[in-house]
Structure 1
Amino acid sequence: MANTDSLLLELILSKNVQVLSEATLEIQGKFCEPRNDFQSNRKMNDPSQQIKCIQTQRVHDWIFYCTDHQKRISIPEDCVEQIRNCRDTGNDVTTDCEGIPDSSNFTVLSESRKFPGIPGIRIVSIRFTIHIRVQFKCNDTPLCHFEVPVTTVDEVALCIPKDTSIAATISNVDCTAFSISITPVCTNPSITLNIPEAVTCTGDITGTVTCNDAPVPGTAVTFSPNPVVTDENGEFTTAATIPEGTAPTAVSITASTTVNDIPAFETELTTVNCPSCDVLAYVTNAGEGENTVSFIDTSTNTVINTVTVGNTPFGVAITPDGTRVYVTNQGDDTVSVIDTVTNTVVATVMVGNGPISVAITPDGTRAYVANANDDTVSVIDTVTVGALPFGVAITPDGTRVYVANSLDDTISVIDTATNTVIDTIPVGNSPNSVAITPDGTRAYVTNADAGTVSVINTATNMVIDTVMVGNDPRRVAITPDGTRAYVTNRANNTVSVIDTASNTVVATVTVGNAPNSVAITPDGARAYVTNLGDANVSVIDTATNTVIDTVTVGDVPRGIAIGTICQG
């Protein structure tokens, strides 16, 4: 020091202003005694070469500038006396400095302006006030200390958009360095919402929160259905869950947030719906004067509705979308079409003579009806097949129809593209029904007079196995996983359970009198069997292969089909 009465401090703001986080800048500074070797670094000779903004996706990188400040500070008299006494005794006097916590502040003095000749850079005039505690020591023994406010006014070059407000935090202050963090302040927050045109049961809602065209991470977004917090890119995603049973409804969804105490919101319109779905079993009742279809709720195993159809209903099938039920009426050569929403017959279609079975293509566009008395299959159109066609099934890909011809002991294979018979397969005596595995590779055929089931390879249309079952096997159904085939044996009052991997009977279940048809729930947990002689339906637990319930229906129940029916 030049003398003991005053202390000359110089503030030199460093060359580098650096990004601390996604939208925070740091200025490194120094307090030091004047040193001539700094002189060459204190001025910018060519700002256009030394100041550089690198625009990235969210942040603004390096800024270069340099400025210096000097302040001559008077030392308190008592401290001056202690310093002199230390020196008079031949000891060394040293100085330490530290910042006083929470004593610094900043003020923006003017609006930002363009930096001449350098795109993207704006000049902001800022006054920084930094409070320093100066400590004198005599051979490292503390002598005295006092506080010094240091105020600097600087024009800082920042890579920020026009009209951006900023905030600054001064920290890490000591005698040799300090940090100033400068953060753009949000003044114009906004939300964008991306909502599907329609949401069925569940759907994702996404969006972005921005401010001054920059993403805002970590901010809470509140809206129904669920509140969320934006990620590092200012983006958010939430799942909308629509209550079951909701009919198609136009709704508005509003998202809101608050950034720097400034609210923002956005509203978008969409249509929501979520049908209420039940697994129902449809049973045809062909008793004298009956001519009905019973609807069984499989969750309670109770009959919830009964609809009158044509004369002597037999076969039944449900469209893949669950909106229609097709019922063959053997006594009047028709097919009744039931609307599952209104539970009424909405159409009656004339088909061939003595319609027995019906199957529907996977896309729901065609129904194939086996007409027992005129040796045809109606495609609500007609295809000539073998004698007394009884059972009918369609491959999962919808390209082939397999028809059991009871008097010919054959299976006719129909190409659905041309609706012509492309193959005829000999099977056992009096084939009655057909079921195809979910993977479409095998067809299982019940042979009523032989007490067997023929297994057909659908790639070659050849019988590859024959399984002995009970007496007078009538219908067959395969579990959704393809591992089991359930066969009704009318004369034995039983159901044979075939393991499709080994094609052997692994269980025999006693059911009601004269079991005729069988259908399996979509989850494979239950098999429902119509008992002609008892006017009821046996419910089999497929895990234990035991009868767990019996449901009373109409007289002479024949066919059965199970499907998922949705309302809403």
Structure 2
Amino acid sequence: MTFGLTMTRHISLLFCLMFGFTACATQDVFPDIGTNMASPTGLAVDSTARRLYVTNANSEVSYDWQQGSFQVLDITSPAAPTLVNTVQTRSYSGKISLDPTAKRAYVTNRFSSDFDVSEDRLFSMNIDESTTNFLSIDETVTTRDPFATACCVVQNRLLLSTAENALLSFDVTAAELTPKTISLRRELSNGVLPASSSMSDLVVIGDQAFISRASGGIFVVNLNEIENSDVNPVDYFIADVRTPRGLATDGTNLLVADEDIVGDTFAQRMLILDISSLMPDTDNTQVTLKDKDDDGLLQAAINVGKNPQQIVVAAGRAFVTNADDDMVSVIDLTSRTVVKTITVGDKPFGMAIDAPNNTPTTLYVGNLLGNNLSIIDISSSDPTTFSVVARYPQ
């Protein structure tokens, strides 16, 4: 979805140019975002605290094009969230990572009125509701178009994927967040240097980060080496994944939302990749090229709906948002089949699961065009009974 949201950003800015930036800036065209939900892109749940966190990217420009927001919802009643507070941000924020111990939420932001911008931002939000500066924001400069984020991984690192062929790493225990840039554009084992491309999603499995590339392929990074500039931490490149979007894991395998052309058919599917053979390599100078088919990585390719985007996993099932079908596919990871499709709101994208006491009960789905959340009861052992029980706001 990184590509789609970036294109939407450019379209909205061109729209403002048609009316003049002054009109957009003075809100003659669109009202303030206020406490409204607007293209909810990133969702994260703290089941212990009974909180749902939402970034409103406003990527469809329902409100003043420069405005986005970060919202905190009380999910004590999972099907009836209530708003705790909202803080206004710039538009085009992406995913959220939570650090419950430090009571921080890390949010990527890709706002810019300049198409040639070389910098964007990471927001560090105070989510400690007992403090007087609840929802205060610290900003850190990043390279362009950060989107996915993971915290807190090997050696207390916060990871960000960006458009600059790079992975950013931050030490979240430091007094000030300072990015370390790990270049992913390195020579492959066939002697080829990959073309420049933005990075999309990322997921951490053990000591490795898997990073999807907007123009195709998945990088595999050894997280134990990212702080050592004298070695190459990029171990593998799975080249033949055509359009990888969302990534997730069941704890063992890598799950990939992907679109590809198979024969004469445009296939939209979730891939299951066995990554057990991709062991960390401490002696490599090049990036080993891998083929998901020839190297035996591909375990299954499960057809889903149109324009698959994000994946979340719970209780042996994967949930995939299909943006152009307005539905979520539910996949049984044992049988590797779609066992349920659930109609949600307009253009579903991000998701988060509430699992109190490690028992998944509720799936929250952000609908970009619907400007709302679909709330799905997933508490039953029978996935065919999963259904939307409410939406927020009502």
The equivalent of 1:489 in structure 2 is 322
Q: CA 1:426/1:552 → structure 2, altered by over 3 Å: closer, same or farther?
A: farther
Asked if structure 2 preserves the Cα contact closer than 8 Å seen for 1:336 and 1:345, the reply is no
Quick one: distance in 1 between partners of 2:365 and 2:393? 12
Match of 1:309 among 89, 103, 106: 89
Deviation string for 1:446-502 (max 9, x for gaps)? 1156411111112124222211110000100011x3x00110000000000111112
Query: 1:460 aligns to what?
Result: 277
State the one-letter code of the partner of 1:401.
Answer: A
Deviation at 1:347, TM superposition (A): 2.0
Alpha-carbon separation, structure 2, partners of 1:362 and 1:279: 23
Contact 1:320 1:363 survives alignment (8 Å): no
5 Å-filtered alignment, 1:39-78, equals none
Following the alignment from structure 1 to structure 2, what is the Cα–Cα distance between the partners of residues 541 and 336? 31
Asked whether 1:425 is paired with 2:238, we answer yes
Q: Distance in 2 between matches of 1:504 and 1:280?
A: 32
Does 2:247 match 1:434?
yes
SS at match of 2:140: strand
Query: Does the Cα contact within 8 Å between 1:377 and 1:383 map onto a contact in 2?
Result: yes
Letter in 1 for 2:202: V
Corresponding position: 1:474 with 2:287: no
Give ranges in structure 2 of 5+ residues lacking alignment: 1-46, 59-64, 113-119, 170-178, 186-196, 227-232, 261-266, 279-296
- The structural deviation recorded for 1:279 is 2.2
Pairing partner for 1:528 from 356, 361, 364:
364
Of 546, 549, 553 in structure 1, the residue corresponding to residue 390 of structure 2 is 549
Matches within 5 A, 1:88-127: none
The 3 A distance-change label for structure 1 pair 476 and 427 is farther
Q: CA deviation at 1:362?
A: 4.0
Aligned residues: CA RMSD: 2.1
CA–CA distance in 2 between the matches of 1:280 and 1:427? 39
Pair 547,377 (structure 1): closer, same or farther in 2 beyond 3 Å: same
Q: Distance between the aligned counterparts of 2:298 and 2:181, measured in 1?
A: 27
Distance in 1 (alpha carbons) for counterparts of 2:159 and 2:332: 28
Residue 218 of structure 2 corresponds to: 411
Alpha-carbon separation, structure 1, partners of 2:275 and 2:149? 20
Displacement, 1:507? 0.6
Q: Contact conserved, 2:319 with 2:330, CA < 8 A, in 1?
A: yes
Q: Which residue of 2 aligns with 1:376?
A: 166
The verdict on how the C-alpha distance between 1:331 and 1:478 changes in structure 2, with shifts beyond 3 A counting, is same
> Which AA in structure 2 matches 1:281?
L
The one-character-per-residue Cα deviations of 1:43-91 (angstroms, maximum 9, x if unpaired) are: xxxxxxxxxxxxxxxxxxxxxxxxxxxxxxxxxxxxxxxxxxxxxxxxx
Q: Is the 8 A contact 2:56 2:91 kept in 1?
A: no
Q: Deviations over 1:344-386 (max 9, x none)?
A: 2342121221111111134682111111x32211113212236
Instruction: Please say if residues 427 and 463 of structure 1, whose CA atoms lie closer than 8 Å, have aligned partners that are also in contact.
Output: no
1:335 and 1:537 mapped to 2: Cα distance?
A: 24
The correspondence for 2:157, drawn from 348, 358, 366, is: 366
Paired residue for 2:98, among 318, 323, 347?
318
Higher relative contact order (Cα pairs below 8 Å, separated by 6+ residues): 2
Q: How many percent identity over aligned positions?
A: 25
TM-score (norm 2): 0.65
| TM-score relative to the length of structure 1 | 0.45
Structure 2 CA distance for partners of 1:383 and 1:312, relative to 1, 3 Å: same
Q: Which has the higher helix share?
A: 2
Aligned residue in 1 for 2:16: none
Distance 1:448 1:292 in 2: 31
* 1:282-304 deviation digits (Å, cap 9, x = unpaired): 11111124311121222232222
Alignment partner of 2:124: what SS?
strand
C-alpha contact 1:509 1:547 (8 A) present in aligned 2? yes
SS of match in other structure, 2:224: coil
Contact 1:428 1:452 in 2 (8 A): no
Structure 2 CA distance for aligned equivalents of residues 418 and 363 of structure 1? 10
Listed one character per residue, the Cα deviations across residues 255-304 of structure 1 (whole Å, up to 9, x for unaligned) are xxxxxxxxxxxxxxxxxxxxx95222211111124311121222232222
Amino acid at match of 2:150: A
1:278 is aligned to 49
